[in-house]
Chain A
Amino acid sequence: MTHRRIHFIFGLYLLLFCAIFLKLFYWQVISYERLKSIAENQTLTSLSIPATRGNIYAQDGSPLVINQRAFLIYAQPHEIDKKDDAVSTLATSLSVDAATISALIVDTESRWVPVAHKVEENKIQKIKDAHLKGIGFLEEPKRFYPEGSMSAHLLGFVGKNSKGQDQGYFGIEGYYDEQLRGRDGMRRQEADALGNPILLGRFEDIGAENGRDLTLTIDKTAQYITQTKLKAGIEKYGAKGGTVTIMDPYTGSIIAMASFPSYDPAEYAKYPTEYYKNPAISSSYEPGSTFKVLVTAAGINEDKITATTIYDEKGPIKIGEYTINTWNHQYHGPITLTDVLRHSSNVGMVFIEEKLGHDLLLKYIQDYGFGETTDIDLQEESSPLLRSPENWYPIDFATASFGQGIAVTPLQIVRAVAAIANGGTLVRPYAVKSIDTKNGKTIITKPKIVKNVLKKETASVVSEMMVAAVDQGEAKRLKPPGYRVAGKTGTAQIPIAGHYDATKTIASFIGFAPVDNPKFVMLVTVHEPTSSQWGSETAVPIFFEIARDLFIYWGISPTS
């Protein structure tokens, strides 16, 4: 009997032991992953380390775009006890009507609601001082533009993508978005009950890679001068808008680029979306008489004509059913081709084109880079397409010789004329001088020569012809005395619905100076000026207003 009881007790203990063993097996083997995950969630804290977006500097290192502290204000509606106070404080501080705030935090079943994004520090202080329960703040930096809306088209802006993340659009912010954005980091570490890190505990750290800083080729002072003078000129001449592009003809670096109408990148949403595109690189226009210098250069380069070749400007020319006139219906008899440029004679240009030949004209149009983008490092560059050769008719070649019937962007014209200024090479324009990689390495953009288009002698001859066009043409009274400036006016009619509008023009002036060692090539375009439709009376004054200030700023002395 005693043995049976002992055996029974033993069996009971064995059973209990097996039960404990099975339970331990269940917790430590079968549920291992699940319990480990729960334990980690309790003891491991994860912290996202946001990357700081890179800054953008002008050529001299002064900031054009930096980051400023801003906050996301969020609400946890179920924790808000004084809803009326919360609504009124938020509405007052954020300058938003109370109904909007109320809809977000009162009439909702959400447990977490974003109330306002990127609110500046000075605006949230009042909200913080109110110590509202259920209202919290997360750091959400935003862009700050010390120069306001200067260089807006060049810089672009930072908006949100479909995932709600910051993303650059247009200009530099768009083109270099990946470089500027950087990569967020993550820190996971064991923490005690108070949330303090345990140094000897688990620690995983993937550091944030901050965005790279960019230094542009833009000269801030030149940009300021350009922007101010262009704005004043557009207002003075009653124009719809305008652009100025200034480039170093030897390197292709963009010195200044301004366009109107413009927008404030800090408040881009308040402006029409059509303002965001940079007209200097994405809008097309017919260049008019500014194109004549390129056709003339082509003719001289091919030894078909010289600066002193004589053309008898007798009267209008008939091409099929069309008649080509001069702009002022004046005809000067036998004149040199230098005078053809000086008088901006359309019939003279038809003569040059006939000497050059259709095939060579098309070849040079392509060689100058028209019909394709310049590859400048700005987002949203586009190029009007060139018609295929079989779609060109005799009248098209004739009108192309004086810059009508062919569409270009302002930057394309600047780049092509830069080839005359620099001795014959087509360069690639660029706006970013260097990229700071933050690990001690700086990537410097090297100027790139795309191809040789003209002989040096051709460039010299055409430069002198352009100097004569300025010194003896309509622009002579506006040029600062003693400076040699090469230039050409342009007044192009605007094509509308298959015909040219008789009253609306795009007035322009392209030029470079000082001629013997050009520091800059500049194109001014004025869209639909109302005070006068002519380039000589609108674009030229703006050009020389800017050029005069640039001569002083850069200490360029007159040569005579």
Chain B
Amino acid sequence: MEPTIKINIFYVILSIMLAIVQVAILNTNSTSGEKLTDYLQEINHYENENTNLSQQIASSSALVVISERARQYGFTKDRTMISLDKPIPVAYSNQTP
């Protein structure tokens, strides 16, 4: 066969193969929207869960809640102020001066 004819046949075969590949890819992507919807719903679900958990954490760690619980458990506020006006020694010597 002449080289020109061979090249032409090659181009035709290549075009057909690329067309097949394009159709295959388009076909796959055209139904991926469903998966995307699923992922978006999952993201939405986790975001909602995060919001709810943040709210629960904030409620549990609120000062008004903690102080009320402390009161129920019998904790009292010790308001005695002790003033240490002399330095506390780091170490004592046991040798008689």
B-contacting residues of A (Cβ < 8 Å)?
Answer: 62-63, 66-69, 121, 141, 144, 146-148, 150, 191-192, 194-200, 220-221, 224, 480-482, 548-549, 551-552, 557-558
Contact = CB atoms under 8 A, between A and B. Distances in A.
Given A147-B64, A199-B29, A68 B55 contact: yes
B55 A198 contact: no
Nearest to B28: A199
Interface string B79-90: 101010000000
B15 interface: no
Interface of B: 26, 29-30, 32-34, 36-37, 48, 51-52, 54-55, 58-59, 61-64, 67, 79, 81, 83
Given A68-B55, A146-B58, A199 B63 contact: no
A173 B59 CA distance: 20
Q: DSSP majority for the B interface?
A: helix
A66 B67 contact: no
Contacts of B32: 199
A197 B37 contact: yes
Contacts of A67: 51
B26 A146 contact: no
B64 A69 contact: no
B38 to A, nearest CB: 9
Given A67-B51, A199-B32, 13 more contacts: A62-B61, A144-B58, A146-B55, A146-B59, A195-B37, A196-B33, A198-B33, A224-B64, A224-B67, A482-B83, A549-B79, A551-B81, A557-B83
Contact of A144 (B55, B61, B81): B55
The 6 closest A-B pairs by CB, nearest first: A196-B33, A146-B58, A197-B33, A146-B62, A224-B63, A63-B58
Contacts of A194: 34
Most interface-central of A62, A146, A548, A558 (chain B CB within 10 A): A146
Contacts of B58: 62-63, 66, 144, 146
Contact of A69 (B37, B52, B59, B67): B52
Contacts of B48: 69
B36 A199 contact: yes
18 contacts: A62-B58, A63-B54, A69-B51, A121-B52, A141-B51, A144-B55, A144-B58, A146-B62, A148-B62, A148-B64, A150-B64, A191-B33, A196-B33, A196-B36, A198-B30, A199-B33, A482-B81, A558-B83
Q: DSSP majority for the A interface?
A: loop
Contacts of A62: 58, 61
A557 to B, nearest CB: 8
Contacts of A66: 54-55, 58
A63 B61 CA distance: 9
Nearest to A221: B63
Contacts of B36: 196-197, 199
A141 B47 CA distance: 13
Contacts of B30: 192, 198-200
A192 B37 CA distance: 12
Most interface-central of B33, B34, B54, B83 (chain A CB within 10 A): B33
B83 to A, nearest CB: 5
Contacts of A195: 37
A68 B62 contact: no
Most interface-central of A62, A199, A480, A551 (chain B CB within 10 A): A199
Contact of B63 (A147, A191, A481): A147
A543 B64 CA distance: 21
A71 to B, nearest CB: 11
B37 A196 contact: yes
A480 B33 contact: no
Nearest to A121: B52
A230 to B, nearest CB: 15
Contacts of B29: 199-200
Contacts of A148: 62, 64
B64 A552 contact: no
Given A146-B58, A200-B30, A558 B64 contact: no
A551 B82 CA distance: 12
B92 to A, nearest CB: 24
Contacts of A224: 63-64, 67
A218 to B, nearest CB: 12
A496 B63 CA distance: 40
A62 B81 CA distance: 29
Contacts of A557: 83
B63 A192 contact: no
Contacts of B37: 195-197
Nearest to A189: B33
B86 to A, nearest CB: 13
B35 to A, nearest CB: 9
Nearest to A482: B83
